[in-house]
């Protein structure tokens, strides 16, 4: 019996291509350091977009001025007896409010990028899957800085003065920034869920309005509120943030407000970040 052997190499014979490594194996090669580097690179991309389109900062430039003037001169005399006394109470509260409202632009920008196919192009790059979302959140830090600079500068022009030291003041804005980063992931969730960029702000207000105005942002004494509303104010994380910022900027008892703010921020990230990543993988 004669056996014929089929050659595996030689002229006219093409070797079978080596199978590509599974996609999961490629992902595991990207460590935390590389993920952070990818995120910072994409954050710089978002910052450069703001440089070429400064009108995207118009909302965080005008909102603090409008809110400060409106609340100060409408409620100042009724709440504190004078606008000057109310200003010291109001501005630290607005730091907490604007730390939340400033995140709404992130959800809108994220939704726009997804609809334009920008994130589809990111999938073809050898970067961490979470890098585009991390870059979006970190790049939005510019909006936080702008809104705080405008709010504080305009407040000081109207007569606001700090009563604590520089370290306490930095701690107040640092605490607001930590909570802002946590709420950015909530805004990212809204941007991923929203069917269009035009609906992002409407969906965001549904979540943010009860948080902001059902708190101690506008007044520190909530005893005149109905019982059910007082119960909500006490468990509201924005109340802890506003009271902590007041204690760090104008003095007064701190209590556990700073620790509660940090705990709330950590809890929000633990829940919102995995949820955002899951939606991102499904949508992109």
Nearest CA-CA partner of 176 in 110, 106, 94: 94
CA-closest candidate to residue 102, choices 143, 72, 133, 71? 143
- Residues of the chain with pLDDT > 70: what percent? 88
pLDDT band, very low/low/confident/very high, at 29 (cuts 50, 70, 90): low
CA distance 93 to 99: 10
pLDDT at 19 over 80: no
Asked whether the predicted pLDDT for residue 17 surpasses 70, the reply is no
Q: Is residue 178 classed as helix, strand or coil in its secondary structure?
A: helix
- Count CB neighbours of 102 within 10 A: 27
- pLDDT, averaged across the chain: 83
148 to 92, 211, 214, 270: CA distances (angstroms): 11, 19, 22, 26
């Amino acid at each position: 019996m004669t056996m014929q052997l089929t050659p595996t190499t030689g002229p006219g014979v093409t070797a079978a291509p080596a199978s590509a490594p599974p996609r999961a194996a490629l992902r595991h090669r990207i460590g935390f350091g590389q993920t952070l580097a990818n995120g910072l690179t994409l954050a710089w991309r978002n910052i450069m977009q703001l440089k070429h389109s400064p009108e995207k900062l118009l909302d965080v430039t005008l909102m603090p001025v409008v809110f400060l003037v409106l609340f100060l001169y409408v409620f100042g005399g009724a709440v504190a007896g004078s606008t000057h006394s109310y200003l010291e109470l109001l501005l630290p509260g607005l730091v907490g409010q604007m730390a939340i409202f400033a995140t709404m632009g992130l959800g809108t920008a994220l939704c726009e990028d997804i609809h334009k196919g920008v994130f589809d192009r990111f999938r073809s790059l050898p970067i961490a899957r979470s890098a585009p979302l991390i870059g979006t959140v970190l790049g939005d830090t510019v909006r936080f800085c702008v809104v705080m600079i405008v709010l504080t500068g305009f407040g000081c022009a109207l007569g606001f003065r700090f009563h604590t030291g520089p370290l306490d003041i930095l701690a107040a804005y640092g605490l607001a920034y930590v909570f802002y980063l946590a709420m950015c992931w909530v805004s990212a969730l809204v941007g991923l869920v929203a069917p269009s960029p035009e609906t992002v702000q409407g969906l965001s207000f549904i979540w943010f309005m009860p948080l902001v105005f059902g708190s101690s942002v506008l007044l520190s004494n909530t005893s005149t509120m109905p019982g059910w509303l007082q119960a909500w104010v006490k468990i509201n994380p924005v109340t802890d943030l506003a009271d902590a910022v007041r204690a760090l900027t104008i003095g007064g008892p701190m209590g556990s407000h700073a620790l509660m703010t940090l705990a709330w921020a950590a809890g929000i990230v633990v829940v919102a970040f995995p949820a955002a990543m899951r939606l991102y993988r499904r949508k992109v």
